[in-house]
Chains A and B, each alone.
Chain A
Amino acid sequence: MKRIACYAALTAVSLFPCLPALAQDYSGRTLVVGTWGGDIERLLREHVAGPLEAKTGAKVEFLLGGSGDRMSKMVAERNNPTMDVTFQNIYEAPAALKESLVVAPDTALVPTAADVWAGMNDGCYAMSLVGLGIAYSKALFPEAPEWADLWKEEFKGKMAYAPYPSSEGDGMLAVAARIAGVSERDPDAAFAKLAELGAPVLSYSSLDEVFTLMDAGEIAAAPMISGYVLSNLENYEGIGFVFPKAPGPVLVRDMVCQVANSPEPELAQMFIDLALSVETQTAYAKELNFGPTNSKVELTEEEAARVINTPEEVTSLLQLDWSYVIEQRSDWTDRWNKQILGQ
C-alpha cells in the first residue's frame, strides 16, 4: 500500500510541470475586445483572436465602434468592467491611465512589449504608428503642398476636417500654432491661425464623402492620418497624400490597452502580446499601411516607404503633449465649434 502511495506521489510530482499548461485551458471563458470595425477588426480576428482561441480554448468577442464610445464605456463601468482589451487613440491613452481605467504597460505582463520602440508605450501599449499629413487635390496643388501652402488665399474655405475632437483636429491646431511661431500651449494663437483657413467645406463622416469632392477639386485639402487613408486613395487618381516637412507630420499612435480590473486579465495580456507580435504588426503594415511599433518587423523598401517604421522617422515627427491636449478638450471643443466651424 505504501508503495502504491509512493508511486502516486511520484506520478503527481512528475506531472507537476504540466500543471501550468492545464491552468492555461480557458475553455468556456470569453475575452471582450473593443476596437474599430472594418479592416482592423478583420486583421485582429485573423492574426490575434484566431490564434488565441486555438491556443487557449477561450472565445474572443469584439465590440465594434469609435474609441470615444469605448472611453465612455470604461468610465461608466469603472467599478465593474465588462471589456478586457480596448483600442484607443494616443490622446486618450494617457488620460485613461491617469484615471486608472487601464493597466500601465508592463513588459513582465506582456513580454513582446519589450520589442516596441522606446518611449512609445505612453499610457497603453503602442499598436501602430501613423502620421498626420495632407490629403490634397492634385488639380489644385500641382506639387505636393507644405503646411504653409494651405494658408494661401486661393484655398481659403476649401478645407475639410474630421469631426472635432479628434487626433486630426488637435494635430492641425498644433501645426497652425507652429506656423504662427508658437506651440499648441498657446491656443489663442493656434485657433486664430487655423481660423484664417476659413470655415471648412464640410466635417466629413466618411472618407468616401470627402474624397469624392476632393477628387473633383471642390475640396482643396484635408489633414488626414496615414494608414488606411493611403489604401483608400488607390481609388482616386486626382488625390495625393504627403507628409510635410515644416513642421514634420504629427505623430499619431493607436494604442492597445488592458482594461483595469477586467474579468480576464491573463487572456487580455496574451491578446495584447499577440497584437504586438512581429506577425500581426507586419500584417498591419502590409495591408493597412500602419507603421509597426515592434522594432523587429522587417519590411521591403516599397512597404517601408508607405509607413513610419524607423526611429529616425519617428524623431522627425511632431510629437504633441497629449496629456496637456486632453486637459484642454472641453475648452478647445468650444473654441473649435465657435472659431472654426461657426465663423
Chain B
Amino acid sequence: MKQTPDIKPIATALLVAPAAILMFGVFVLPFLFLVVLSFWSQVPGSLGMDPTFTLANYARIISDSYYLGGLWTTLWLSGLVTLICLILALPLARWIVLHAKRTKGLLIGLCILPLVCGALLPTLGLVNLLSPLGFINGALKSMGLIKTSLPLLGNIAGVSIGLVQAFLPLMILPLISTIERIPHDYEKAAMSLGATRLVVWRRVLLPLMLPGIVAGSLLVFCASLTAFVTPQILGQGKVVTFASLAYQQAAMVLDWPFASALGMVMLLFLALAGILGALVSRGLGRGS
C-alpha cells in the first residue's frame, strides 16, 4: 500500500506563501484601504483627504435621490439582463448538449468568445450596429419597416443589449454543465406518463436545471451590477449606473472617499446577491 508523502507544515506554508502574499498585497490590503477610505472625507476645494471618521459619504448616497436612482437603475437593469440571459440561454444550452454533437466544442468556444474579447471592442462594434445611422436602423429603413431611427443607444434598451451580449456566456456555461448531468431518460419517462412538453419543462427539466440557473443568474447579475465599459459607452451619459458614478467620482472629480463609499455600497449588494444565491443552493441541496 502506497503511503501519502509526509509534507511538513513548513513546506506547505512555503508553497502557499507566494500566492498568499500576492493576494494580501494586491487584493486584501487595497480592499481594506477602500473600506477605511469610504469613512474619510474630501477636503472641500482640494485634492486632499481628511482622515477623520465620518458617515457623510454614506449619508450623501442615501439622502440624494440622484444616487438612489442610480442604484435602483443598476439593480433593475442587472435583474433585467439576468432574466433575458436566462431566457436566451436555456434553450441554447439544452440544444448544444442534446444536438450539437461534433460541433459542441466549436459552439461552446463561440459562446465564450465575448468573454475573451474584453468589453471594449464588442461594445464599440455595437455602437456601429445600434446607432441611429447604424446597420440595424439602416436595414429596417431600407426595408421600409421604419421611417425614423429606433432609439437603440443612450437608453436601457441599448445598454441591455450590450450587457446580454457580454454576459450570456456566464449563463450558458453553468447551464451546459448542469444539463449534461440530467439523464435523458427522465424526460422520456415523464412523456411516457402523459406529460406534455410544457409540463416536462416545468416539472422535470427546470427543477433539475435549478443549480445551473442559480449559478448562472448569480454570475450574470453580479457582472452586470459592476459593469462599467458597456453602460458608459452604450448609455452615452444618459443611463446612470453605480459603476459609472463611481468612475466619475474616482477618476474625474478625484473625490476618492465618496467613490469608495459608492464602491462599498455596490459590494454590499454583491454580497447580498451571493448570500441569496447560497441560501437558494442550500435549499436545493436539502430538497434533493
Chain A interface (Cβ within 8 Å of chain B)?
66, 68-69, 71-72, 75, 95, 98-99, 101, 161, 163-166, 199-205, 209, 212-213, 216, 218, 326-330, 333-334, 337-338, 341-342
Contact = CB atoms under 8 A, between A and B. Distances in A.
A342 B249 CA distance: 17
B54 interface: no
19 contacts: A95-B47, A98-B46, A101-B47, A163-B237, A164-B252, A166-B252, A199-B238, A200-B237, A202-B238, A203-B237, A205-B232, A205-B236, A209-B127, A212-B131, A218-B132, A327-B44, A333-B249, A337-B240, A337-B248
B150 interface: no
Given A99-B48, A212-B131, A333 B252 contact: yes
Interface of B is mostly: loop
Contacts of A341: 237-238, 240
B154 interface: yes
A80 B258 CA distance: 24
A165 B66 contact: no
Chain B interface bracket (under 10, 10 to 19, 20 to 34, 35 or more)? 20 to 34
B236 A203 contact: yes
Interface string B232-268: 1100111010000000111111111010000000000
Given A213-B133, A330-B42, A337-B240, A202 B253 contact: no
Contact of A165 (B127, B131, B237, B253): B253
B153 interface: yes
B45 interface: yes
Contacts of A161: 237
B237 A216 contact: no
Interface of B: 42, 44-48, 64, 66, 127, 131-133, 153-154, 232-233, 236-238, 240, 248-256, 258
A22 B82 CA distance: 65
B66 A342 contact: yes
Contacts of B132: 213, 216, 218
Nearest to B60: A334
Contact of B250 (A72, A166, A204, A212): A72
A203 B232 CA distance: 9
Contacts of B48: 99
- Closest 8 A/B residue pairs (Cβ): A203-B237, A327-B45, A202-B236, A68-B251, A99-B47, A68-B252, A165-B252, A333-B253
